[in-house]
């Protein structure tokens, strides 16, 4: 297979972005479809990305006082029904176990779509006094939501995530935890995955079922769609009252605890693909890349080439996540394309001429730039380059997000902007759900969030024209 054929295997990103996405997921061996409809198998290369995200996130969680736990995958129907809004939101998309151990169950059990109900039930048993608080618990697990349309990583029926569930003595402390987690999430997405996000608060329509407030970080894909990348919810006492999570407060009185929950998921892998990828394939940010540097020897049959490449590999492998490609049944050209498709940030080419000159060539995945480097300076050069690649990838996304963000003052402008180029629209909003619904109906764009960083782009609602003081970010979503 030559270079051209190789690239042709992937659908053009500007012609059919959805198909391009699926091609990358499968050709880069991140995941594959399974016999279980709507569920994927995450392959080693995809799972290694998730492990890196987990390690980075889990460290930040623990530093902030989070403790890991594990709660049952099955939730009795009666528990799910205790909080009215919650069951309305989730019941339509759950999967039910009705038979087990050869018998029909007396009460059916759902596979958790999220675990507020079961955490809150256990908290009601464990909590006695203000001295026990806070409970800042998390679990890394899978959840199931029976989606009609699925897409690998972005919307799978089963997906991996972490779900944090906390209870606190005071409203203030619970709200601080809600925002603290949003900060951690934006740290993960921006500083680890090199994807800029907008932080804000969801409108009532877009709020999590049962929450008082839902906070979100919103990213933008290559094709200008919005990708909700992490959410953090403040529940007040919405669950602790029906679930009877009480404690003796400092004044000796019984009080209901204040609650939060928050989650990020394998959807972030989808975000990485959609924010950074190009026509050559996947493009992985250096910090999360399972392989940061791959060595491809050129003219490997020539004396000393393989040995020198291996020597280089051994000198670098304790410092970077390395791979060396010694396959003897494909050409260097094939290998170059293969590793570009897999998104490895830096490729090292080394051949007989390079060895003679005591150099090798570093090729950046993000810019395709080739840099000739002395062998005894490779180490330091890679260090710098990985940082530079991260920064460049972040800036590229940021520029795109800015370029694809426009302002609209009325519905005509809104539609015109969206028709011209799919992206974010900043517009004032009066606060009514009717206006939100109308905008969605006319433009297929939903409110993404009321961003923390407000900007006065007008005085009147983009939809109804009434007085408005909230600037909202709107966009079509994945």
- Least gap, CB of 51 to a copy of itself (angstroms): 6
| CA-to-CA dists, residue 132 to 51, 117, 125, 249, 261, angstroms | 32, 20, 12, 10, 18
- Least gap, CB of 329 to a copy of itself (angstroms): 7
Nearer to a copy of itself, 141 or 457 (CB): 141
Strands in 67-68's sheet, in edge-to-edge order, are 67-68, 135-144, 158-168, 258-265, 226-236, 213-220, 198-201, 446-451, 470-475, 424-429, 405-407
Residue 431 touches a copy of itself, criterion: CB under 8 A: no
Token pair in block for residue 360:
């090798």
Residue 36 touches a copy of itself, criterion: CB under 8 A: yes
- Least gap, CB of 93 to a copy of itself (angstroms): 6
Residue 111 touches a copy of itself, criterion: CB under 8 A: yes
Nearer to a copy of itself, 102 or 252 (CB): 102
Residue 279 touches a copy of itself, criterion: CB under 8 A: no
Contact 168, 177 (CB under 8 A): yes
Which one among 1, 18, 97, 371 touches a copy of itself, defined by CB under 8 A? 97
**Piece of 125-133, 248-256, 343-351, 406-414 that binds a copy of itself (CB under 8 A):** 125-133
Angle between helices 305-316 and 378-403 (to 10 degrees): 70
Residue 65 touches a copy of itself, criterion: CB under 8 A: no
∠ at Cα 168 (268, 94), nearest 5°? 45
Could you tell me which residues are beta bridge partners of residue 255?
Answer: 247
Residue 95 touches a copy of itself, criterion: CB under 8 A: yes
- Least gap, CB of 41 to a copy of itself (angstroms): 5
Residue 301 touches a copy of itself, criterion: CB under 8 A: no
Residue 54 touches a copy of itself, criterion: CB under 8 A: no
E strands, 207-304, in order: 213-220, 226-236, 246-248, 254-256, 258-265, 293-297
For strands 405-407 and 74-76, give the pairing.
Answer: unpaired
Nearer to a copy of itself, 45 or 466 (CB): 45
Residue 49 touches a copy of itself, criterion: CB under 8 A: no
Residue 146 touches a copy of itself, criterion: CB under 8 A: yes
DSSP-derived letter for residue 91 is G
Residues numbered 321-340 forming contacts with a copy of itself, rule: CB under 8 A: 329
3-state secondary structure of 258: strand
Which one among 4, 63, 148, 453 touches a copy of itself, defined by CB under 8 A? 148
Q: In the chain, what is the straight-line distance between the N-terminal and C-terminal CA atoms, in Å?
A: 34
- Least gap, CB of 344 to a copy of itself (angstroms): 17
Residue 318 touches a copy of itself, criterion: CB under 8 A: no
CA distance 218 to 178: 16
CA distance 216 to 16: 28
Which one among 3, 8, 59, 67 touches a copy of itself, defined by CB under 8 A? 67
Q: Which residues bind a copy of itself (CB under 8 A)?
A: 32, 34-36, 39-44, 47-48, 50-51, 67-76, 78-79, 92-102, 108-109, 111, 118, 121-122, 125-126, 131, 137, 141-142, 144, 146-148, 158, 160, 329
């Amino acid at each position: 297979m030559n270079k051209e054929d190789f690239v042709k295997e992937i659908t053009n990103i500007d012609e059919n972005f959805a198909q391009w996405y699926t091609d990358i997921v499968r050709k880069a061996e991140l995941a594959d479809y399974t016999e279980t409809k709507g569920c994927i198998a995450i392959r080693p290369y995809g799972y290694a990305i998730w492990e890196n995200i987990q390690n980075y996130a889990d460290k930040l969680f623990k530093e902030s006082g989070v403790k890991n736990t594990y709660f049952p995958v099955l939730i009795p129907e009666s528990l799910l029904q205790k909080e009215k809004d919650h069951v309305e939101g989730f019941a339509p998309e759950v999967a039910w176990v009705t038979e087990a151990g050869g018998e029909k169950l007396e009460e059916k059990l759902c596979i958790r779509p999220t675990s507020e109900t079961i955490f809150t039930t256990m908290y009601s048993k464990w909590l006695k006094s203000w001295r026990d608080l806070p409970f800042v618990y998390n679990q890394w697990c899978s959840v199931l939501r029976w989606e009609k349309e699925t897409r690998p990583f972005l919307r799978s029926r089963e997906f991996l995530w972490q779900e944090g569930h906390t209870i606190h003595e005071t409203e203030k402390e619970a709200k601080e935890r809600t925002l603290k987690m949003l900060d951690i999430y934006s740290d993960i997405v921006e500083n680890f995955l090199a994807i800029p996000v907008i932080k804000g608060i969801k409108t009532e329509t877009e709020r999590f079922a049962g929450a008082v407030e839902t906070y979100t970080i919103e990213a933008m894909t290559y094709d200008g769609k919005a990708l909700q990348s992490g959410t953090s919810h403040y529940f007040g006492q919405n669950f602790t009252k029906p679930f009877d999570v009480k404690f003796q407060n400092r004044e000796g009185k019984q009080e209901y605890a204040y609650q939060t929950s928050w989650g990020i998921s394998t959807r972030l892998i989808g975000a990485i693909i959609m924010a950074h990828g190009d026509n050559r394939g996947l493009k992985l940010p250096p910090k999360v890349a399972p392989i940061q540097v791959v060595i491809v020897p050129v003219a490997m049959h020539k004396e000393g080439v393989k040995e020198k490449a291996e020597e280089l590999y051994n000198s670098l492998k304790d410092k970077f996540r390395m791979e060396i490609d010694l396959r003897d049944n494909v050409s260097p050209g094939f290998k170059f394309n293969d590793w570009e498709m897999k998104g490895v940030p830096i490729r090292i080419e080394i051949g007989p001429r390079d060895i003679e000159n005591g150099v090798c060539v570093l090729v950046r995945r993000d810019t395709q730039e080739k840099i000739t480097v002395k062998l005894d300076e490779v180490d330091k050069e890679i260090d710098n380059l990985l940082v530079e690649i991260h920064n460049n990838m972040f800036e590229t996304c940021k520029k795109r997000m800015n370029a694809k963000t426009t302002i609209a003052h009325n519905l005509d402008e809104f539609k015109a902007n969206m028709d011209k180029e799919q992206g974010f629209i900043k517009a004032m909003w009066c606060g009514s759900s009717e206006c939100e619904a109308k905008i969605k109906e006319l433009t297929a764009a939903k409110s993404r969030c009321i961003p923390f960083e407000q900007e006065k782009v007008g005085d009147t609602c983009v939809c109804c024209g009434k007085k408005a003081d909230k600037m909202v970010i709107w966009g079509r979503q994945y």
